[in-house]
Amino acid sequence: MKISVVGIGRVGSTLAYTLVMRGLCSRLLLINRRAEIAVGDAHDLRHAVAFVDRQIEVDAGSIADSAGSDIIAVCASVSNSSSGTDRMALGPGNAALFDELIPPLAAASPNAIFLILTNPVDVMTYHALQLSGFPPERVIGTGTLIDSARFREMLSDEIGIHPDDLRAYILGEHGPHQFAALSQAQVAGERIENNEHRREMFRAAVEAGHEVLRAKGHTNYAIALAASLIIEAIVHDTRRTVPVSTLIDGWLGVNDVCLSLPVVIGRPGITRILHPQLNDEESAAFRDAGRAVRDAIESILNNSTTK
Ligand SMILES: NC(=O)c1ccc[n+]([C@@H]2O[C@H](COP(=O)([O-])OP(=O)(O)OC[C@H]3O[C@@H](n4cnc5c(N)ncnc54)[C@H](O)[C@@H]3O)[C@@H](O)[C@H]2O)c1
């Protein structure tokens, strides 16, 4: 299993460390615009391999060196130091960066699965899909997995049940147009009540990500573990059900846009998209998210090579 991580900044280097810790590949390639950072991280991680149970070849390299990757995790980004909590502000810069990166990465590894972390993640997942020409099941955005994890963690504290056992999803956009599918939230077949307190908890979960950004200027640990859960599902064909950003084609009248829905993930990538029975308010929120991300795709990708 060969995994390439593109963009060795705060998120990419934490993801690379997580992949080594979890022994999720036999070859790990790090690619960064400033090559010396990737070289340094590759050395450091090679020393870390001595402390894990699996032999992993860790290298720094170029897009040509990524040939034959099974999974390509894209964390490359223009600087996000001045964008604050506005992920869309990164859109034009990152769209141009993807124009440069995705076609040669896809050509070097035509059978790979792309995992997109770069923000605005729904727009960038759509862009990667277009630029690679890969089928939608092999282009996955981390989407609202991270938001859902924060929400389940808060629910778990209140209910006193492990977050993994709670079926509670935040869906839609990884951004302001996300919503909690509370009408479907349940544990062991028992409904998790949809009340004002829980809706307040959803708002707190969304705010929690912003609090991390305000405090330290970036997020890295939780998103790296979220990405490694998706990668683990691919590597071990676990068929886990996770909310991630994927191409939506027709559901609830939403078309030609990437948004988060629960999907099943295995060795081929997304093996199935699930369609929860949302109530009217949640269905309207999903359509709103579709409109917002579609508008962003049109304005951000206007000048890109796909137009
Ligand atoms: N999806 C999520 O939930 C989530 C969570 C956190 C961060 N993010 C996003 O992940 C991205 C990375 O965040 P970060 O904090 O690591 O940023 P960062 O600035 O620390 O790292 C970005 C890295 O990309 C590299 N890079 C830029 N252009 C490149 C190119 N052409 N080829 C190779 N590398 C290139 C830069 O040199 C830098 O090392 C951002 O877009 C951020 O918003 C997403």
Q: Could you identify the atom of ligand 1 that is nearest to the CA of residue 100?
A: 31
Tokens representing residue 78 in the block: 């223009």
- DSSP assignment, residue 38? H
- Choosing from 43, 47, 127, 174, the catalytic residue is 174
What residue type is assigned to position 164 of the chain? Answer: D
pTM, two decimal places = 0.96
**Confidence check: pLDDT of 133 > 60:** yes
Question: Does residue 115 contact residue 227 with C-beta atoms inside 8 Å?
Answer: yes
User: Residue 128 C-alpha to ligand 1 middle, in angstroms?
Assistant: 15
Q: Could you identify the atom of ligand 1 that is nearest to the CA of residue 146?
A: 3
What residue type is assigned to position 122 of the chain? Answer: D
Query: What sections of 109-144 are H helices per DSSP?
Result: 121-132
Give the rounded percent of residues in the chain with a pLDDT score beyond 70: 97
State the distance between the two ends of the chain, measured CA to CA, in whole angstroms.
Answer: 34
Give the rounded percent of residues in the chain with a pLDDT score beyond 90: 90
What is the tally of helices (H) and strands (E) in the chain? 8, 13
**Confidence check: pLDDT of 43 > 70:** yes
**Confidence check: pLDDT of 241 > 60:** yes
How much is the mean pLDDT over the chain?
95
pLDDT of residue 307: 46
pLDDT in tens, 145-171: 999 999 999 999 999 999 999 999 999
Domain ranges for the chain: 2-141, 145-303
- Interface ipTM > 0.90: yes
Q: Could you identify the atom of ligand 1 that is nearest to the CA of residue 220?
A: 6
> How many angstroms separate the CA atoms of 199 and 180, rounded?
8
pLDDT of residue 209: 85
Question: Does residue 229 contact residue 252 with C-beta atoms inside 8 Å?
Answer: no
- 199-150-294 Cα angle (round to 5): 75
pLDDT band at 252 (very low <50, low <70, confident <90, very high): very high
User: Residue 142 C-alpha to ligand 1 middle, in angstroms?
Assistant: 14
Place of tokens 């924060």: 150
User: Residue 169 C-alpha to ligand 1 middle, in angstroms?
Assistant: 26
Residues tagged in the binding site annotation? 7-12, 94
User: CATH fold of 145-303, please?
Assistant: L-2-Hydroxyisocaproate Dehydrogenase; Chain A, domain 2 (3.90.110)
pLDDT of residue 139: 98
pLDDT of residue 88: 87
pLDDT in tens, 23-42: 999 999 999 999 999 999 99
What number of other Cβ atoms are within 10 A of residue 307's Cβ?
Answer: 8
Task: Provide CATH code, domain 2-141.
Answer: 3.40.50.720
User: Residue 186 C-alpha to ligand 1 middle, in angstroms?
Assistant: 35
> Bigger pLDDT: 305 or 58?
58
Q: Is 162 a catalytic residue?
A: no
CB-defined site of ligand 1, < 6 Å: 6-12, 31-34, 37, 75-77, 79-80, 90, 97, 100-101, 117-119, 121, 142, 146, 174, 218-219, 223
pLDDT in tens, 79-128: 877 666 688 889 999 999 999 999 999 999 999 999 999 999 999 999 99
pLDDT band at 249 (very low <50, low <70, confident <90, very high): confident
Place of tokens 């979960």: 205
pLDDT in tens, 64-85: 999 999 999 999 999 877 666 6
Would you call 143 exposed, middle or buried from its count of C-beta atoms within 10 A (0-12, 13-18, 19+)? buried
